[in-house]
Structure formats: structure tokens, C-alpha cells
């Protein structure tokens, strides 16, 4: 009996009988426990120690080569009614799903240790925070959960006070993709995941709990669980404006959250609250207040360099777990876009040979405590969260979509979010670079029917609220030469400034059928070397292209049938007719 909560003890007993571990370990979250886990993994070869003089307390984990990303085709929402999961999810009947996955869990922990991980998503004393318990047989998962969540004794105490928690059962199983499933039972507040050790499939507090299960709860309880970064923009007067931004996986959240303003912005500073998940709810003042439920970053390594994201690069030189990166001759971590060093061993542990592809896996990742980031703000620990002034949607679009535009109002903003499209990335298995609809960057993460989700979003627009303005950005437009037209990274500050100045009624814009765009003169472009013609193209609306886009968006909205809210259809019809007017 390890907890004061009977329901928790009973569940641990039940899982122990099913999975047959040799030992059960209740995690207290202490330093000593973390050290012991690292040593265990160094012994078993699950971790390799990196160069201790350049990268103290840094380790490399090489996963099974067939287990390097989320697996959307093996991820299920198992609601009683298939309609509630919606066409945006794979569905399986709960009884069938339990039977199928429990058969795989039977005896799967023989010879292994079962770890019980109590965790809290959000500051322990936050009314917005929620708790869960993950059971796993993977020490790698325990170590990552320790960095990514508030884990251990304090979380257990809150769970015992709350009396409720999300149950997450995980085993790496035999890592065979044919016996891999990530299943969610929203009505039972339960997650079962087997056959993968990869982040989003295995760190159950993250996508499974904080997005899929939480989005379901948020709908019932009147809040939002979103795939968004949260940042604060401080101007030279010392005023701070908080912004939340939803971009699909590997489309720039971590980088935007850690932005360092360019020279044209003396006295400005960007603060990082979170880089991946945002829980927000209306406060007494009618504004949306947001917390980052996570305590660390599980970030994309490739592309992280001294020019692109110096804040991230600096935080990765100590106390970091790397997964599937390459290493240099002197055992420093290496990835494409790092800008220094030379790989000698690739992510699979082979001698590096460019003929085998990139040295680091395109979805190689780092796990690091948020506190190690120089731009991290203590406001991330504020139990009330931070007030959100603007919401930004964005995707990876090599053509058509302008650098930035502002929606007309909340309903139009919800349409802009619902209509989001983005080219797929290596964060999930499958083809890369394929354009797909990814509403609010939640396609892989919304735990219920998108039609209901759009309706939930619209419901926040009611008397007495002071909702954020909604914008859309695209850093990924390409020119004829196939290169990105916009420099991105730090220079995205120029777009952020326009956004917060729009929120304060200070910046100019031109109205177009898709929303309001800045003119070149409305942006601070000082010191930016970009041809005027390119800049004009980034700020132009191609009406014919957009008319085709909106026709496709209409078909997409239809795919949710009766569940698509009428208000969204009306807003869509309005926009399409404005685009097709002579
Ligand atoms: P997840 O952790 O998967 O949710 O991803 P994320 O949205 O946090 O993406 P991240 O910031 O890690 O960026 C993914 C990739 O996009 C990296 O290789 C970045 O270098 C690249 N990237 C980020 N911002 C920009 C940008 O402004 N311009 C360009 N060209 N690339 C960018
Ligand atoms: C994503 O894929 O959006 C991630 C990484 O943030 S994972 O935690 O694996 O989902
Ligand atoms: Mn993500």
C-alpha cells in the first residue's frame, strides 16, 4: 500500500496482476532517484554518456529505428459512440480496444520493473492544473517524465487531495510496430499505450493526457487544451503582452517561444512560458488565462543552431537527454543545422555516411528542463496563468498563404483556425511535405469530433468576454528558387510587433477577403535584407488561389456533417463569396 488513495492502489494492483513485473517502484521524483535511473540506463546501454567536459550530465538515447515518431495510424480514441471521436480520429469500441491491448499487456513486464509515476500537469498549486499517474516499464520514460512534468511526491499529495487522476498505462512491449497501439478512453479518463518508447507515444502526460484527454474534459468544463506555445513580449516601456500560438508539429513553436529580437528592437524582450501545450480558461475579467502544463521541452534538434535559436542551443549544453541525434568524434551531440562540429556516428550508431541520409534523425529530440532556458519566465509558475492578448495560427505553406493576416472577429478567427493547412513533417511517421488540413494544429491531438470542437471554440464568444484577437502566420513561403522567402526565427519579431500593436489599435492594415494584412509600411523592416518584390509577394492575397483554397475548406467543413456549426458555414460562405466577387 503506497498511497492514501485506495483507487490508486487498486489500479496499481490490477495492472501488476496483468503485467507481472518483477518489482514495483513508486517514483518520488527525487534527485537520488533520477541519478539511480541514469546509472541503470548507462549499465543497460539505454543511455550513452556524452562528453562530460563540454556537456555535463548529458546523455544520448538511441531508439529502435522503427520507433522514432508518433504513429497516428495506431492512435485511437475509444469513446462509447464513434461519432464522438469524429472523422478526425481513428476509433475503436472501448470493449474491443481494452481486450485487444490488454492481451498485449498480459505478462509484458516479466523480468522488468513497474514504475508508478504520479505527475501534475501545471504548477502544483494551480486551479487550472490536473494530475495523472503513468505506469511504465521504461526507465527512459521515467527520466523524461521527471524533466517534462512536476513528478513525484508533491504530485502524489495533490492527487490524494483531488481524489481523482488520469490513468496512463504504458509498456515498451517488444517494440514491434505490429503490436503497437496508443489508445484513449476519454469517458474513463484512461490511456493505454504499448509497443513504443517514443515521446508522444510514451510520455503519456504530454499529447495523450494534456491534449487528447484534456481537450475532452475542457469541452465539458468550458476551457481549452491546445497545441500552443505561450510567450510574453516585453516592450521598452516594460509592458508585457502574452501570446499563444498553434503551429503543427515541427512547424516552429519552440523556436518562436524562445525568439531573440533582432537589432531593430532595442529594449524588447521575449519571455518563454511554454513551447508546446497551453491550457486556458476565461478569468473573472473575461480574458483568457493560460498555463503551460509542462515543466520541460521535448524539442526538435535539427535546425537548432546559434543563428536560428541561440537560447535553445545554450540550454542544451548540460543536463539534457538527447534522442536519436548524431555524435562527433569527441562525443558531442550533433545534428543538421547545428552549425558547428562534424558527425562521425549517425543516429543509429553507424559510422556516418551521407549515403545513409542525415546524421541525426529528422525527428531527433532533446529533453530539457524549462528552467534551463535563458528566456524562461517565472510567470510560468503563476498558478493563475498569464492573460492572452492574441492567438496565432500558422502552418508550413510553401505557396499562397501570406506572411501574416488578422481575422475580422472571433468567429472568423475560429474559421481561420479550422481551415489551417500545413505540409506534414517527420514528427509523425508517414510521408513528409504533404499538404493536409490540421485544424488549430490539433488534427493528431483533439480527443473528440472536430465539428464539436469548432462549436466549443465559438462558444467562448459571449457577453462579458474580452477575447484575444486571432491571427494567422506563415514563415515557410518559398520562392522560385525553392528557398524560404522570409528569414524567419528572430525576424519573426517584426510580425509579433505588428500583432500586439494591432491588439492595441495602433498599427495599420488593409482589409482583404481573407482578413487584414499589413502593408509594407505597417511593418518594421529596418535592417532586413529582403527584396521589395519578395516582401510584396509575402503580403499579397492571390484571390483565385484563395477561392480554390476556400472551396477545399468548404468540402472539409462538410466532412463533419451535422456537427459543423452553422455559424462557421455562414462565415465560410461570406469569405468565399467575397473572394469570387468580380
Ligand atoms: P513540435 O515539438 O513537434 O510540436 O514542433 P515545434 O512546433 O515546436 O517546431 P520547432 O520550433 O522545433 O521547429 C521545427 C523545425 O522548423 C526546426 O527545424 C526549425 O529550425 C524550423 N523552424 C522553426 N521556425 C522557423 C522559421 O521561422 N523559419 C524557418 N525557415 N524554419 C523554422
Ligand atoms: C509533436 O509531435 O507535436 C511533439 C513531439 O511535440 S511529441 O511529444 O512526440 O508529440
Ligand atoms: Mn508538439
pLDDT in tens, 400-451: 999 999 999 999 999 999 999 999 999 999 999 999 999 999 999 999 999 9
The pick from 300, 373, 488 for probing ligand 1's pocket by mutation, whose C-beta has the most ligand atoms within 8 angstroms, reads 300
Ligand 3: distance of its center to the CA of 444 in Å?
10
Q: Which atom of ligand 1 is nearest to the CA of 229?
A: 8
Beta strands in 111-180 (DSSP E): 113-121, 130-136, 150-151, 166-171
Confidence band, pLDDT 50/70/90 cuts, at residue 582: confident
Residue 300 near ligand 1, beta carbon < 6 Å = yes
Which residue's C-alpha cell is 478512453?
185
Percent of the chain with pLDDT over 70: 100
In the reported structure, the alpha carbon of residue 336 is separated from the centroid of ligand 2 by a whole-number distance in angstroms of 19
Say if residue 351 carries a ligand binding annotation: no
**How many Å apart are CA 256 and CA 233, to the nearest integer?**
11
Bridge-based pairing of strands 113-121 and 23-26 is: parallel
Tell the burial category of 53 from Cβ atoms under 10 Å away from its Cβ (0-12, 13-18, 19+).
exposed
Atom of ligand 1 nearest to the CA of 476: 30
Give the phi and the psi of residue 108 in degrees, each rounded to 5. -70, -15
Q: What is the pLDDT of residue 519?
A: 98
3 state DSSP class of 416: helix
Return the residue whose CA atom lies nearest to atom 15 of ligand 1.
250
Which residues touch 449 (CB under 8 Å, ≥6 apart)? 83, 84, 85, 86, 87, 88, 89, 560, 563
The C-alpha cell that represents 467 in the structure block: 477575447
Q: Are 496 and 261 in contact (CB under 8 A)?
A: no
Ramachandran angles phi, psi of 244, nearest 5°:
-115, 140
Give the largest Cα separation in the chain, rounded: 74
Closest CA relative to residue 383, chosen from 131, 164, 122: 122
Ligand 1 geometric centre to CA of 97 (Å):
35
Mean pLDDT of 129-146: 98
Ion ligand 3 nearby residues (CB, 5 A): 249, 276
- Per-residue pLDDT at 513: 98
The closest alpha carbon to 226, from 178, 280, 173, 174, belongs to 280
**Is there a contact between 361 and 61 (Cβ–Cβ < 8 Å)?**
no
Is 389 annotated for ligand binding?
no
pLDDT digits (tens, 9 = 90+) for 525-581: 999 999 999 999 999 999 999 999 999 999 999 999 999 999 999 999 999 999 999
| Ligand 1 site, residue 489, Cβ cutoff 6 A | yes
SS3 content of the chain, % helix, strand, coil (to 5): 35, 25, 45
Other beta carbons within 10 Å of 144: 26
**pLDDT tens digits, one per residue of 22-43:** 999 999 999 999 999 999 999 9
For the four alpha carbons of 260, 504, 396 and 65, in that order, the dihedral sign comes to: positive
ipTM of the complex: 0.99
Task: Indicate which atom in ligand 2 lies nearest the CA of residue 201.
Answer: 9
Residue 363 known to bind ligand: yes
Pocket test for ligand 1, best of 198, 252, 358 (most atoms within 8 A of CB): 252
Average pLDDT taken over every residue of the chain: 98
Taking the centre of ligand 1 as the mean of its atom positions, its distance from the CA of residue 263, in whole angstroms, is: 22
Whether 488 lines ligand 1, by a CB cut-off of 6 Å, is yes
To the question of whether residue 70 is assigned a binding role by annotation, the answer is: yes
Rounded to the nearest angstrom, the distance between the alpha carbon of 200 and the centre of ligand 3 is 8
On the CB side of 533, how many CA atoms lie within 13 Å of its CA?
2
Cβ of 302 closer than 6 Å to ligand 1, yes or no, is: yes
3-state DSSP assignment of residue 541: coil
The model's confidence at residue 1, banded by pLDDT at 50, 70 and 90, is: low
* Known catalytic membership, residue 251: yes
| The three grid cell numbers given for residue 458, joined into one nine-digit string | 465559438
The DSSP code sequence of 347-375 is TTSSBP-GGG--SS-TT-EEEEEGGGSTT
Ligand 3 centroid, distance to 227 Cα (angstroms): 6
Q: Whose CA is closest to atom 10 on ligand 2?
A: 200
> Is the CB of 427 within 6 Å of ligand 1?
yes
- Whether 198 has a binding-site annotation, put simply, is yes
254 annotated to a ligand binding site: yes
The closest-lying atom of ligand 2 relative to the alpha carbon of residue 203 is 8
User: Which is nearest to 77 in space by CA: 87, 66, 65?
Assistant: 87
So what's the pLDDT on residue 21? Answer: 98
Spatial neighbors of 368 by CB under 8 A, at least 6 apart, are: 147, 296, 297, 299, 315, 316, 319, 320, 321
pTM (predicted TM-score): 0.98
Atom of ligand 2 minimally distant from the CA of 206 = 8
pLDDT higher than 90, residue 251: yes
Neighbours of 459 (CB within 10 A): 12
Looking from the CA of residue 227, the nearest atom of ligand 2 is 3
C-alpha 416 – ligand 3 centre gap (Å): 20
Distance CA 155, CA 168 (A): 15
Q: Looking at 474-578, which runs of residues are DSSP E strands?
A: 510-512, 515-517
Q: Whose CA is nearest to atom 9 of ligand 2?
A: 200
| Ligand 2 atom with least separation from CA of 276 | 6
Sequence-distant (≥ 6) Cβ neighbours of residue 300 within 8 angstroms = 250, 254, 363, 364, 365, 427
Of all protein residues, the one whose alpha carbon is nearest to atom 23 of ligand 1 is 252
Distance separating alpha carbons of residues 262 and 490, to the nearest angstrom: 6
Pairing state between β 59-61 and 48-49 = antiparallel
- DSSP states along 164-175: --EEEEEE-TT-
Q: Which three cell numbers stand for residue 381?
A: 509558475
DSSP state of 279: E
Is 326 within any annotated ligand binding site? no
Is 364 annotated to bind a ligand? Reply is yes
> CA-to-CA distance for 574 and 578, rounded, in angstroms?
6
- The per-residue pLDDT for 508 is 98
Q: Which of 78, 251, 373, 446 is catalytic?
A: 251
Q: Which residues of 415-448 are buried (b: 16+ CB within 10 A; e: fewer)?
A: bbbbbbbbbbbbbbbeeeeebebbbbbbbbbbbb
Check if the beta carbon of residue 400 is closer than 8 Å to that of residue 356.
Answer: no
Residues in the ligand 2 pocket, defined by CB under 6 Å: 70, 199-200, 206-207, 249, 276, 298, 427
* C-beta of residue 192 within 8 angstroms of C-beta of residue 101: yes
Using CA positions, which residue lies closest to atom 8 of ligand 2?
200
Residue 306: Cβ within 10 Å count: 11
Higher-confidence residue of 2 and 492: namely 492
| Entry field: residues in the chain | 582
Taking the centre of ligand 2 as the mean of its atom positions, its distance from the CA of residue 207, in whole angstroms, is: 7
- Locate 108 and state its grid cell: 509484458
For ligand 2, the distance from its centroid to the CA atom of residue 289, given in whole angstroms, is: 23
Residue 255 is assigned to a ligand binding site: yes
H-only helix segments in 20-138 = 31-44, 82-85, 94-105
Ramachandran angles phi, psi of 167, nearest 5° = -95, 125
Ligand 2 pocket: which of 298, 363, 441, 445 to mutate (most atoms <8 Å of CB)? Answer: 298
> Is the minimum distance from the CB of 398 to ligand 1 under 6 angstroms?
no
Amino acid at each position: 500500500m503506497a498511497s492514501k488513495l485506495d483507487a490508486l492502489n487498486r489500479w496499481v494492483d490490477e495492472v501488476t496482476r496483468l503485467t507481472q513485473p518483477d518489482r514495483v517502484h513508486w517514483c518520488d521524483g527525487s534527485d537520488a532517484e533520477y541519478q539511480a535511473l541514469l546509472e541503470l540506463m548507462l549499465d543497460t546501454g539505454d543511455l550513452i554518456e556524452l562528453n562530460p567536459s563540454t556537456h555535463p550530465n548529458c546523455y544520448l538515447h538511441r531508439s529502435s529505428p522503427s520507433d522514432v515518431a508518433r504513429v497516428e495510424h495506431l492512435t485511437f480514441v475509444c469513446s462509447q459512440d464513434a461519432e464522438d471521436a469524429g472523422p478526425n480520429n481513428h476509433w475503436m469500441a472501448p470493449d474491443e480496444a481494452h481486450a485487444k491491448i490488454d492481451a498485449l499487456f498480459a505478462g509484458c513486464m516479466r523480468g522488468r520493473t513497474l514504475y508508478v509515476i504520479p505527475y501534475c500537469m501545471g504548477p502544483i498549486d494551480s486551479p487550472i492544473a490536473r494530475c495523472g499517474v503513468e505506469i511504465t516499464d521504461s526507465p527512459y520514460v521515467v527520466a523524461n517524465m521527471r524533466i517534462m512534468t512536476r513528478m513525484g511526491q508533491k504530485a502524489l499529495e495533490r492527487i490524494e487531495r483531488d481524489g481523482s487522476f488520469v490513468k496512463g498505462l504504458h509498456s515498451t512491449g517488444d517494440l514491434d510496430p505490429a503490436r503497437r497501439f496508443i489508445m484513449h478512453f476519454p469517458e474513463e479518463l484512461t490511456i493505454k499505450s504499448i509497443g513504443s518508447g517514443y515521446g508522444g507515444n510514451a510520455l503519456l502526460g504530454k499529447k495523450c493526457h494534456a491534449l487528447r484527454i484534456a481537450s475532452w474534459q475542457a469541452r465539458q468544463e468550458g476551457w481549452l487544451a491546445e497545441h500552443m506555445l505561450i510567450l510574453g513580449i516585453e516592450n521598452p516601456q516594460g509592458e508585457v503582452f502574452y501570446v499563444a500560438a498553434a503551429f503543427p508539429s515541427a512547424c516552429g513553436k519552440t523556436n518562436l517561444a524562445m525568439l531573440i529580437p533582432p537589432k531593430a528592437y532595442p529594449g524588447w524582450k521575449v519571455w518563454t512560458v511554454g513551447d508546446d501545450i497551453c491550457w486556458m480558461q476565461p478569468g473573472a475579467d473575461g480574458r483568457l488565462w493560460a498555463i503551460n502544463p509542462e515543466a520541460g521541452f521535448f524539442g526538435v534538434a535539427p535546425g537548432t543552431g546559434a543563428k536560428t535559436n541561440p537560447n535553445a542551443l545554450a540550454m542544451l549544453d548540460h543536463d539534457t537527454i538527447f534522442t536519436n541525434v548524431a555524435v562527433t568524434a569527441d562525443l558531442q551531440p550533433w545534428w543538421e543545422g547545428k552549425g558547428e562540429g562534424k558527425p562521425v556516428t549517425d543516429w543509429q550508431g553507424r559510422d556516418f555516411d551521407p549515403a545513409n541520409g542525415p546524421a541525426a534523425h529528422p525527428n531527433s529530440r532533446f529533453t530539457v528542463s524549462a528552467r534551463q532556458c535563458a528566456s524562461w519566465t517565472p510567470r510560468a509558475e503563476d498558478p493563475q496563468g498569464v492573460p492572452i492578448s492574441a492567438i496565432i495560427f500558422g502552418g508550413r505553406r510553401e505557396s499562397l498563404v501570406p506572411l501574416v493576416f488578422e481575422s475580422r472577429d472571433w468567429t472568423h478567427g475560429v474559421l481561420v483556425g479550422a481551415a489551417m493547412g500545413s505540409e506534414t513533417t517527420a514528427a509523425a511517421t508517414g510521408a513528409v511535405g504533404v499538404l493536409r488540413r490540421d485544424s488549430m494544429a490539433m488534427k493528431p491531438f483533439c480527443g473528440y469530433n472536430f465539428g464539436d470542437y469548432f462549436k466549443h471554440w465559438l462558444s467562448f464568444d459571449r457577453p462579458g468576454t474580452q477575447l484575444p484577437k486571432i491571427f494567422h502566420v506563415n514563415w515557410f513561403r518559398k520562392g522560385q528558387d525553392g528557398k524560404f522567402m522570409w528569414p524567419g526565427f528572430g525576424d519573426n519579431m517584426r510580425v509579433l510587433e505588428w500583432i500586439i500593436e494591432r491588439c492595441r489599435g495602433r498599427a495599420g492594415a488593409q482589409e482583404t477577403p481573407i482578413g487584414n494584412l499589413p502593408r509594407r509600411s505597417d511593418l518594421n523592416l529596418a535592417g532586413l535584407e529582403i527584396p521589395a518584390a519578395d516582401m510584396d509577394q509575402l503580403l499579397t492575397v492571390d484571390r483565385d488561389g484563395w477561392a480554390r483554397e476556400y472551396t477545399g475548406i468548404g468540402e472539409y467543413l462538410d466532412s463533419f456533417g451535422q456537427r459543423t456549426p452553422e455559424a462557421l458555414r455562414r462565415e465560410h460562405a461570406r469569405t468565399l463569396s467575397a473572394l469570387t466577387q468580380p
